[in-house]
Amino acid sequence: MSPLLYRQLHELSAYMTHRKPFALIREFHLADWFTLGNAICGVGALFSMMSYLQSEDPTNVYFAAALVVSALIFDILDGRIARWRQKASAMGRELDSLADVISFGVVPAAIGYGCGMKGALDQVVLICFVACGVSRLARYNVTAESLSAETGKVTYFEGTPIPTSLLLVVVLVVATWCGAVGDTLWFGVIALAHVNLHPLVLMFAVSGALMVSRIRIPKL
């Protein structure tokens, strides 16, 4: 055995011997648990929409939307708790972004698909919407330190925050309540080169474009 390999195995053995059980969980701050609550709500909403695709029971859409609202509450609380306890961390920021991608990126797109935006072009728009949300969050994580250089905290967002996708969810909930889903989705369907596009899906395109724009939104 080479000396380098022996040393690496010795260091690994020492790490495994002295590390504490559940070390990652022990490093979580109170705010991080609220961030996980955000992610849990998002995953629950996805499961609810899967159930809707099987049963077509509108209650599942309402439940999914309620979980998105709950995710927003967790998202607001985790930031306030972090500032109150002065326990902000790089891990917390990454957790927040990952949770937001699920709850405010993937879930609204899944609700749109479940409500009838299933055409090939619809799916392209929904995928682009999620990609814009991911890009928006990545840009925020990279630029947060520079944006807070003068005041010590971020005073504005570049592009609309991803939780604004809750507005899209509200529109889809109202459409579900009115029975305007599936083949009766508002504004009908347009056939373009043998592929379908529901005009209502364009609200996802607008939302995604605003997220990756340079528009400055004051942070409250």
Give which of 168, 163, 172 is closest to 211, Cα–Cα: 163
The answer to whether residues 93 and 140 touch, using CB atoms and an 8 Å cutoff, is no
Is pTM beyond 0.85? Reply is no
- Tens digit of each residue's pLDDT (9 = 90 or more) over 199-218: 999 999 999 999 999 888 77
The answer to whether residues 124 and 193 touch, using CB atoms and an 8 Å cutoff, is no
8 pLDDT higher than 60: no
Is the domain spanning 30-218 CATH 1.20.120.1760? The answer is yes
Domain spans in the chain, listed from the N-terminal domain onward: 30-218
Q: Could you say which DSSP state residue 182 is in?
A: G
Q: Both tokens of residue 142?
A: 């990279």
Would you mind telling me the total number of residues written for the chain in this entry? 220
- Tens digit of each residue's pLDDT (9 = 90 or more) over 30-65: 778 888 999 999 999 999 999 999 999 999 999 999
**How far is residue 105's CA from residue 75's CA, in Å, rounded to a whole number?**
14
Helix (H) or strand (E) holding 157: strand 156-158
Other CB atoms within 10 Å distance of the CB of residue 212:
17
